[in-house]
Chains A and B, each alone.
Chain A
Amino acid sequence: MKTLVYLVIGTFFGILMYKSEAASWFRIFEMFEFGAFHMYGIIGSALVLGVIGVQIIKRFNIKAIGGEDMHLKPKNKSFARYAIGGILFGLGWALAGACPGPMYVLAGAGYISILIVIFGALLGTFVYGLIKNKLPH
């Protein structure tokens, strides 16, 4: 039953990514060219509602289903990992024109080439795991 719920959430998210064109290489290129408001509108409106919603959750101490606390823990304080990791991610995001969510969506849409991007992403994740302790965090 729970599995089915997550499957439906994922399917909804997949349709959403594809239909909003957030999964299109062209839209990512256009965003970094400041060519249209579209992507900024998507991220911006998600964010405005997200901030308001999270404030409401905290103000009224709303719990997750089953009474647990919601996952809103602060992340570790650091600069290097977020700045360097973030820039590396951005370079890849623009080059491949896809971030992780849209990669899965595009695989479902039948773009064989995206499997190579996903392979690269798995490889990058694996290499990070191997050399993690040698990197500044």
Chain B
Amino acid sequence: MNWIYDPWPWYVAGPLIALTMFILLYAGKQFGMSSNLRTLCSAAGGGKKADFFKFNWKKERWNLTVMIGAVIGGFIASQYLSNNTVEIASDVVTKLNSYGINSAGESYLPTELFSIEALSSPKNLLILIIGGFLVGFGARYAGGCTSGHAISGLSNLQLPSLIAVIGFFVGGLLMIHLIFPLIFA
């Protein structure tokens, strides 16, 4: 029964992501996860503060439904379909150890950052909030995130999406190679 818990290889996951995008296109919609953040701001009354949130957010309920589905999917997969550990390359594990992160291979997310106990550290709290902030701010500034630009936009060979995706990687590489050594020194 181990195969149920085994992670899916890239050649299964990638095509299924493409399938997700095509199902949504066929339904007359667009694959884009970060739009939900804007919709939630609008639903919470953000339109009173900025025109950016003044739109008929109820028309985006379909995407909020997809989002709720993703939450359910995360619950099902973590409870019934996974042993909740992730094996990564051994030299990457060594690198993480030098940063004081020793939970690689034992957990799905690093416990040093994501466990309840880790929340008592102001530094960890800042990492989580700032990380989230940049994702939310950057996704709206760039007009999309990984699903909207890297998958949907590039599939349609859109130059703006290529610029955005190059930006994603420039930002990610800067964070991991220049800023991580400072944060986790």
Determine if A11 and B73 form an interchain contact, defined as CB atoms under 8 angstroms apart: yes
State how many angstroms separate the Cβ of B90 from the closest Cβ of chain A.
Answer: 9
Determine if B142 and A41 form an interchain contact, defined as CB atoms under 8 angstroms apart: no
What string of 1s and 0s marks CB contacts (under 8 Å) between A66-94 and chain B? 10101110111111011111111111111
Determine if A41 and B11 form an interchain contact, defined as CB atoms under 8 angstroms apart: yes
Chain A residues near B139 (CB, 8 Å)?
85, 89, 99-100, 121, 124-125
Binding site for A on B (CB under 8 A): 7-18, 20-30, 33-34, 36-38, 40-41, 46, 49-50, 52-53, 61-63, 65-78, 81-82, 84, 86, 88-89, 91-92, 95-96, 104, 108-110, 113-116, 118-119, 125, 127-143, 145-147, 149-161, 163-177, 179-180
Q: How far is the CA of A106 from the CA of B86 in the complex (A)?
A: 14
Determine if A87 and B28 form an interchain contact, defined as CB atoms under 8 angstroms apart: no
Binding site for B on A (CB under 8 A): 2-3, 5-33, 35-47, 49-51, 53-54, 57, 64-66, 68, 70-72, 74-79, 81-101, 103-114, 116-130, 132, 135
- Subset of 10 A-B contacts with CB under 8 Å: A6-B63, A18-B81, A20-B12, A83-B166, A95-B175, A108-B71, A121-B133, A121-B136, A121-B139, A127-B137
Q: How far is the CA of A114 from the CA of B182 in the complex (A)?
A: 23
Chain A residues near B147 (CB, 8 Å)?
99-101
Determine if A100 and B135 form an interchain contact, defined as CB atoms under 8 angstroms apart: yes
Determine if B163 and A116 form an interchain contact, defined as CB atoms under 8 angstroms apart: no
Q: How far is the CA of A43 from the CA of B150 in the complex (A)?
A: 8
Q: A105-B70, A126-B46 are in contact. Are A89 and B138 (CB under 8 A)?
A: yes
Q: How far is the CA of A57 from the CA of B161 in the complex (A)?
A: 19
Q: A75-B161, A117-B128, A129-B52 are in contact. Are A89 and B168 (CB under 8 A)?
A: yes
Chain A residues near B174 (CB, 8 Å)?
87, 90-91
Chain B residues near A37 (CB, 8 Å)?
10
Determine if B15 and A46 form an interchain contact, defined as CB atoms under 8 angstroms apart: yes
State how many angstroms separate the Cβ of A24 from the closest Cβ of chain B.
Answer: 5
Determine if A120 and B88 form an interchain contact, defined as CB atoms under 8 angstroms apart: no
Nearest residue (CB) in B for A40 is B10
Determine if A86 and B163 form an interchain contact, defined as CB atoms under 8 angstroms apart: yes
Chain B residues near A74 (CB, 8 Å)?
156, 158, 160
Determine if A25 and B155 form an interchain contact, defined as CB atoms under 8 angstroms apart: no
Pick from A17, A30, A68: contact of B70, CB below 8 A. Answer: A17
Determine if B171 and A100 form an interchain contact, defined as CB atoms under 8 angstroms apart: no
Chain B residues near A12 (CB, 8 Å)?
16, 20, 69, 73
State how many angstroms separate the Cβ of A61 from the closest Cβ of chain B.
Answer: 13
